[in-house]
Amino acid sequence: MGDAIVQALPSAVVVAISPVPIVAVVLMLLSARGRVNGPAFVLGWMIGLATVGAVCLSVASGGDSGTPAERDRWISVVLVVSGVLLLLVALKQWRGRSRAGGHVIAPRWLDAFDTFSPVKAAGAGVVFSMNPKNLLLAFAGAAEIVQTGISADRQVVAYVVFVVIATMGIGTPLLIHLAMGDRSRQLLEHLKSWMIRNSAVIMAVLSFIIGVKLIADGISRLARVI
């Protein structure tokens, strides 16, 4: 199971370092209902990733219905396609990055988080966890777990670890806020500004690295079964 966790770790890290969800949870923590909405957002995020994981593991395990070689070919194709799509994400993010000296403004719809109820905050967490990039990475992570050949119950445990790691990005501001209270406001404001300013570059670099890894893993695995 350790190997499955290691294989899926890079994808989980990229999900964790998602600038917009981190900015969203910071905005909720800075609102009047921060101590309630922040945890609600994180809970919704975890529920969303768990739901995606259940579907992804089921689909990724579908290759088990054929021979081992057929399963390996199927998973290899999934990894290569996921890698190529991530490279396209990286290209799009890089082209949209802020130029030196450019002024970056947060999306206006983020302002609505100040008025969210805990239920809406949880719903937002679910929605953010299911954005297209995360769906792609969750599916790639599930495929990486399945390709190790471990049993179904261990696949579930490995994906639970995936979810925990993928939650660290939005979980860290929450822990800071709970530990420091109002003293965390200035630190969280700086974190929000930095994430907004560098979000495109962060996602471009991480998507490129993970995309190359998935393509290399898929081609290497495919070469062994051809």
pLDDT in tens, 130-185: 888 888 888 888 888 887 878 888 999 999 999 999 999 999 999 999 898 888 88
pLDDT for residue 213: 87
Higher-confidence residue of 186 and 96: namely 186
19-62 pLDDT, tens digit per residue, is 888 988 998 888 888 889 999 999 999 999 999 888 888 876 66
Pair 18, 217: CB distance under 8 Å? no
Kindly indicate the confidence band of residue 193, based on its pLDDT and cuts at 50, 70 and 90.
confident
Cβ neighbours of 115 (radius 10 Å): 10
Has residue 101 got a pLDDT over 50?
no
Question: Domain boundaries in the chain?
Answer: 2-67+98-200
Q: Is the pLDDT of residue 116 over 80?
A: yes
Number of residues assigned to the chain: 226
**CA R_g for the chain:** 18
Rounded average pLDDT over 107-127: 82
Instruction: Give residue for tokens 């994981």.
Output: 53
Residues in contact with 13: Cβ distance below 8 Å, sequence separation at least 6, in sequence order: 165, 166, 206
